[in-house]
A and B are shown apart, each in its own frame.
Chain A
Amino acid sequence: MRFADVQEGDELPTRRLFLAKEQVRDYARAANQWSARFTDDEGARKEGLPGMITPGNMSMGLLTGLIESWAGPGVLRRLGTTFRGLVLPGRTIHLCGTVTQKDEATRTVELDVWLESDEGERLVIGTATIVLG
Chain B
Amino acid sequence: MPLDLDPAVLGKEFDHTVYGPVTPEELIAFALALGETRSEYTQPGPDLVGHPTFCVRYKGDKFYPDTIPKNINVRSGFDAGKDIELGVPVRPGDTVDVRSTLHEVYEKTGRTGSMYFVVIRFTMTNQRGEMLAIVDNRFMHR
**A residues near B, CB below 8 A?**
17, 23, 26-27, 29-33, 55-58, 60-62, 64-65, 68, 73-74, 76-83, 126
Task: Give me the 4 closest cross-chain CB pairs, A-B, nearest first.
Answer: A80-B83, A27-B33, A82-B81, A26-B33
Q: Which residue of A lies closest to B56 (CB)?
A: A57
Q: Which residue of A lies closest to B85 (CB)?
A: A78
Q: Which residue of B lies closest to A33 (CB)?
A: B57
Q: Which residue of A lies closest to B138 (CB)?
A: A82
Does B53 reach chain A (CB closer than 8 Å)? Answer: yes
Given A65-B36, A73-B38, A80-B83, are A57 and B53 also a contact pair (CB < 8 Å)?
A: yes
**B residues near A, CB below 8 A?**
26, 29-30, 32-36, 38, 40-41, 51-53, 56-58, 78-86, 89, 138
Main secondary structure of the interface of B (DSSP, over half): mixed
B131 to chain A, nearest CB (A): 12
Given A56-B81, A78-B85, A78-B86, are A32 and B57 also a contact pair (CB < 8 Å)?
A: yes
Inter-subunit contact B34/A77 (CB<8 Å)? no
Among B34, B38, B58, B89, the residue within 8 A (CB) of A58 is B34
Among B26, B40, B78, B84, the residue within 8 A (CB) of A73 is B40
B90 to chain A, nearest CB (A): 13
Contacts of B26 in A (CB 8 A): 30
Give complex CA distance A60, B140 in Å: 18
A82 to chain B, nearest CB (A): 4
Among A30, A57, A68, the residue within 8 A (CB) of B29 is A30
Give complex CA distance A65, B82 in Å: 17
Inter-subunit contact B81/A61 (CB<8 Å)? no
Inter-subunit contact A80/B34 (CB<8 Å)? no
Inter-subunit contact B86/A76 (CB<8 Å)? yes
Give complex CA distance A23, B81 in Å: 21
Given A64-B51, A82-B80, are A29 and B38 also a contact pair (CB < 8 Å)?
A: no
